[in-house]
A and B are shown apart, each in its own frame.
Chain A
Amino acid sequence: MLADIRLVAAKDLRIEWRSRVTLSQVLPFALLVLVLFGFALDANRAVLDAATSGLYWITVLFVGLMSVQRATAIETTDGARRALLLAGIEPAAVFLGKALAVMVQLLFVELVLVGGVIVLFDASVESLPLLVSTCVVATVGIAASGTLLGALVAGVRARETVLPILLLPVLAPVLIGATRAFDDALGTVAVDGWAWLGLLAGFGAINTVLGALAYGVLLEET
Chain B
Amino acid sequence: MQEINHTGSRTTRLLGAAVILGLVVLFFLGWFVAPEDDEQQDAVRMIFVHVPSAIFTYVAFMTTAIGSAMWLLRRSVWWDTLAAAAAEVGVLFCGLTLFTGAIWGRPTWNTYWDWGDVRLVTTLILFLMMIGYLSVRSLGGPETATATRAAIVGVLAAGIMPIVNRSVEWWENNTLHQKSSLTDGNLEDMTLFTLVVGLVVWGLFFWWAVLHRFRIAWLERELRSTDLDRALEERRAEGEPEGEKV
Direct A–B contact present (CB less than 8 angstroms):
yes
Mark A residues whose CB is within 8 Å of B.
145, 148-149, 152-153, 155-158, 162, 165-166, 168-170, 172-173, 176-177, 180, 195-196, 199, 202-203, 206-207, 210, 214, 217-218, 221-222
17 examples of A-B residue contacts, CB within 8 angstroms: A152-B153, A153-B139, A153-B149, A162-B135, A166-B132, A166-B135, A170-B132, A170-B157, A172-B167, A173-B160, A173-B163, A173-B166, A180-B171, A199-B166, A199-B170, A214-B155, A218-B149
Question: Does A203 lie within 8 Å of B163, measured CB to CB?
Answer: yes
Q: A173-B164, A210-B156 are in contact. Are A222 and B148 (CB under 8 A)?
A: yes
The SS class assigned to the B binding surface is: helix
Closest residue to A170 on the B side, CB-wise? Answer: B160
CA distance in complex: A34, B110 (Å): 35
Question: Does A221 lie within 8 Å of B171, measured CB to CB?
Answer: no
Question: Does B129 lie within 8 Å of A169, measured CB to CB?
Answer: yes
Q: A162-B136, A222-B145, A222-B148 are in contact. Are A206 and B171 (CB under 8 A)?
A: no
Most interface-central of A196, A203, A206, A222 (chain B CB within 10 A): A222
Instruction: Please indicate the chain B residues that have their CB under 8 angstroms from the CB of A157 in the complex.
Output: 140
Task: Answer whether residue B196 sits at the interface, using C-beta atoms and an 8 A cutoff.
Answer: no
Instruction: Please indicate the chain A residues that have their CB under 8 angstroms from the CB of B182 in the complex.
Output: none
Task: Answer whether residue B72 sits at the interface, using C-beta atoms and an 8 A cutoff.
Answer: yes
Instruction: Please indicate the chain B residues that have their CB under 8 angstroms from the CB of A176 in the complex.
Output: 167-168, 171
Question: Does B159 lie within 8 Å of A210, measured CB to CB?
Answer: yes
Question: Does A217 lie within 8 Å of B132, measured CB to CB?
Answer: no
Residue of A162, A170, A195 touching B170 (CB-CB under 8 A): A195
Closest residue to B152 on the A side, CB-wise? Answer: A214
Task: Answer whether residue B131 sits at the interface, using C-beta atoms and an 8 A cutoff.
Answer: yes
Instruction: Please indicate the chain B residues that have their CB under 8 angstroms from the CB of A153 in the complex.
Output: 136, 139, 149
Closest residue to A176 on the B side, CB-wise? Answer: B167
CA distance in complex: A222, B152 (Å): 12
Task: Answer whether residue B225 sits at the interface, using C-beta atoms and an 8 A cutoff.
Answer: no
Question: Does A218 lie within 8 Å of B148, measured CB to CB?
Answer: yes
Question: Does B141 lie within 8 Å of A156, measured CB to CB?
Answer: yes
Instruction: Please indicate the chain A residues that have their CB under 8 angstroms from the CB of B41 in the complex.
Output: none
Closest residue to A174 on the B side, CB-wise? Answer: B167
Interface readout for B116-140 with A: 1 if CB under 8 Å, 0 if not? 0000000001001101100110011
Instruction: Please indicate the chain B residues that have their CB under 8 angstroms from the CB of A149 in the complex.
Output: 153, 156
